[in-house]
Amino acid sequence: MQMLGAVGQSERALTRGRQREGIAIAKAKGVYKGRKPVLDEQARVALRQEAVQGISKVDIAQTRGAPARACTNT
């Protein structure tokens, strides 16, 4: 069983290495840009201002139609 685990780990490492190489090539071509942000910069600024006013981030997220997690990281 340990041998199978070692082979699996080795295969996973090779796969991740190839994936990193592919992502680097795609980024160099300008094709891979990652995940798009849920909130744009203008919405983030407004969110920060509302948070300073004392409004909870969960309430802000509900009014903006964004997940609460997106508002807690800004």
Task: Give residue-wise pLDDT tens across range 30-55.
Answer: 998 888 877 888 888 888 888 889 88
Residues 44 and 64 occupy one common structural domain: yes
Task: Give the global pTM.
Answer: 0.47
Residues 43 and 26 occupy one common structural domain: no
Could you give the CA distance from residue 45 to residue 49 in angstroms, rounded to a whole number? 6
Confidence at 15, pLDDT banded by 50, 70, 90 = very high
Confidence at 19, pLDDT banded by 50, 70, 90 = very high
Residues 18 and 49 occupy one common structural domain: no
Residues 42 and 28 occupy one common structural domain: no
> Is 18 or 41 the better-scoring residue by pLDDT?
18
Confidence at 61, pLDDT banded by 50, 70, 90 = confident
Q: Give Dmax (Cα) for the chain.
A: 59
**What total of structural domains would you count in the chain?**
2
The residue range of the domain holding 23 is: 1-34
Residues 50 and 74 occupy one common structural domain: yes
Residues 47 and 29 occupy one common structural domain: no
Residues 27 and 50 occupy one common structural domain: no
Could you give the CA distance from residue 55 to residue 61 in angstroms, rounded to a whole number? 10
Mean per-residue pLDDT for 57-64?
Answer: 82
